[in-house]
Amino acid sequence: MAIRTISAAELHRKMDSGESLFILDVRNPEEYQDWQIEGKQLQSINIPYFDFLDDNDALYADLPKDTEIITVCAKGGSAQMVAELLDQRGYDVSVLEGGMLAWSQFYVPVTIVDDDNLKLIQFNRLAKGCLSYMVISDGKALVVDPSRHVDEYVRVAEQEGAQIEHIMDTHLHADHITGGPELAQKTGATYYISASEMQGSDRPYEPLEKHSVIQFGHVNVKVLAIPTPGHTPGSMSFLVNDQFLLSGDTIFVGGLGRPDLGGKAREWAQALYDTVFRTIAQLSDDVLVLPAHYADIQEINAAGYVGETLGEIRRKNEIMRTEDRETFTETVANSVGATPPNYEDIVSINRGVLSVSPEKATELEIGPNRCAIHHT
């Protein structure tokens, strides 16, 4: 009998329903520790596929007989082999179709608000912890921080009966390849990014520095570009209708953007201080912060999206209250973690000075995001 397969979408539906799931990840331990499928009701263990080749009975001791086991590997092949061995022993087993490769390319759109003025949708690329946004008003749409699988945004815009007219990147991303230029080419929209992020690039774009307000739709949805350097020198945040701050990698639900990827950790941490205590300080507590990344599945709230009011972030996040400049700078500059893999190549691709095949792009993006520093 053929082993059942489960798609990334089906796996997510099971996770979203609150169903308890058991994942058997058969990749190498290093790969598993670096990056794995996470869920609030999900149990995951790692037994490398090559261990099963010895047909050791002890390997099966921790595997449940009364629960479906979903086997996972990089692309699906090794998981299929292990699933066949489990099936022979009477386990209820299925295989994640396409493995972590398929999971890395799966997006979940969640509507945050839908009123007379606008509809705001968050796209969650679960495997990467990458978040992007679509703002729709009067049949026109703005997309912020799109990932490279641009058909996801085209499909939703078509469903909403909206034409994508504006595309913005909050900054030059280091952990994933932007879909901004390709989406602009496909839809005829204008692609915006800070000019200071694109030095040495001949890629077509509209400098955000030229625009204090970008309006679209009859209701005059305002998108205000706020310079928020620190993560990168040209980072921008976008304040939509004075209610929603699309904060890029500047402010997260649980921390701040890391300032070290340009090799100037202290200098950029100083800029981040000014962002927090001069620029962001002017915004009210009830502004909803919607970041470009998250690092923990627990940051997805009960409504299904990642976001928190600025007041709650200030209350929970000690670094947002650390007004001593030197203490802030030292804390932020010394709180960096592992460097995002392949970030130099990804930055070059996003600047338009390096071109790679879709297969190579997929390879470069494999792995988690590492753009946040946590201070909660």
pLDDT for 98-147, tens place per residue? 999 999 999 999 999 999 999 999 999 998 889 999 999 999 999 999 99
Lowest mean pLDDT among 50-54, 159-163, 214-218, 236-240: 214-218
Is 130 among the catalytic positions?
no
Residue with tokens 């890029």: 248
What's phi and psi for 243, nearest 5 deg? -125, -35
| Helix locations, the chain, DSSP H | 8-16, 29-34, 77-88, 99-103, 151-159, 180-187, 265-274, 310-316, 325-333, 343-351, 358-365
**3 state SS of 312:** helix
Q: What is the per-residue pLDDT across 214-226, written as a single tens digit (0 to 9) for each?
A: 988 866 678 777 7
Give the whole-number percent of the chain exceeding pLDDT 90: 59
Q: Is the pLDDT of residue 336 over 90?
A: no
The average confidence (pLDDT) of the chain is 89
Which helix (H) or strand (E) segment holds residue 15: the answer is helix 8-16
Give the mean model confidence (pLDDT) for residues 51-74. 90
pLDDT score of 262: 60
pLDDT for the residue 304: 93
Catalytic residue among 37, 73, 156, 276: 73
Note whether 357 and 96 are within 8 A (CB). no
Output the pLDDT for position 181: 97
**d(C-alpha 358, C-alpha 241), whole Å:** 37
What pLDDT, on the 0 to 100 scale, is given for residue 232? Answer: 66
b/e string for 135-158 if b means 16 or more Cβ within 10 A? bbbeebbbbbbbbbbbebbeebbe
User: Taking the model in full, what pTM does it have?
Assistant: 0.91
* Tens of pLDDT, residues 229-267: 655 667 899 999 999 999 998 888 888 877 766 667 788
